[in-house]
Amino acid sequence: MIENTIINKNQAGLKALTFSLTFPSPQLVEMAAHVGFDAVNLDGEHGTFSPESVDLMCQIANGYGMSVTARVPNNMSSTINLFLDRGVQGITGPHIETGEEAQALADACLFPTDGWRSWGGGRGTEFGDIHRLEKKYGGKLKFARWSNANMIVQAQIESKKAYDNLDDILAVKGLTGIVGGPNDFAASLGYPGQPDHPERQRLTTDAENRAKEAGKTTSDNGVGMAISDMMLTDAHRFVERHSKDTLEI
């Protein structure tokens, strides 16, 4: 496992540049590394990723020194484990609507004593190699603490119910931050097909401001995202424009 490159970039006061994929492509992961991206994000909710392809994306990205994050298809702990055991170091849980759901999300992502993540035997736990765990981290418990410190846990706020319960969601200690979902949020407000509706934008801005006040990250605070259908030359320009973007304090 490598240190979380998004967290490292943020701790240096900079946003991390993340290349987002909706389908597995070793070539695009490799090219993302070549042009200077810091991390790769996999859309497991609307994308086409199997556990095997997640494993391959993590293998290649980590080999190039990039961490991998993912939006999972659902918030079941067993589903989240499939991603974490492959080596994913950041989970976005879709359709989080209550503090209880946000707590369950954090618990699934973090090892005890911070959560209840199940121990697996894949890349996410150095394949359970006790000798490596002892030599590199000082044992399983210290590895678990290291893993928790390198894990990003984000709740996707994409409904009126989630907005109404935002204070409870933001109170979850293990939650790193929140991200938006403008299309579904607008629909839940009664404005289907209008993600740019002023009321949706107003509530999203309020949610982001409240998150920052609570010490949580937001979708635009810490991560600059580029999507996989960019031309490679555009990716170069994206990196050049945003590599020095700083965090909002």
CATH number of the domain enclosing 188: 3.20.20.60
pLDDT, mean over the chain = 91
Residue 43 lies in a domain: yes
Given a contact cutoff of 8 angstroms between Cβ atoms, the answer to whether 80 and 104 are in contact is: no
- As a whole number, mean pLDDT of residues 58-67 equals 97
Which residues make beta-bridge pairs with 177? Answer: 154, 217
Q: What is the pTM of this model?
A: 0.89
d(CA 126, CA 148): 14
What residues act catalytically?
Answer: 46
Q: Of the ranges 76-90, 149-163, 216-230, which one carries the lowest mean pLDDT score?
A: 216-230
Contacts of residue 166, defined as CB under 8 A and 6 or more positions apart, other chains included, come to 157, 207, 210, 211
Closest among 124, 133, 176, 126 to 154, alpha carbons compared: 176
Q: pLDDT of 155-197, one tens digit each?
A: 999 999 999 999 999 999 999 999 999 999 999 999 999 999 9
Asked whether residue 31 is assigned to any structural domain, the reply reads yes
Number of domains in the chain: 1
Count Cβ neighbours within 10 Å for each residue of 182-218 and write b for 16 or more, e otherwise: bbbbbbbbebeeebebeebeebbeebbebbeebebbb
- Residue 27's domain spans which residues? 5-242
pLDDT on residue 15: 86
Find out whether 72 and 80 touch, Cβ atoms under 8 Å. yes
User: Hey, what are 95's tokens?
Assistant: 């359709």
Residue 188 belongs to some domain of the structure: yes
Residue 59's pLDDT is what?
97
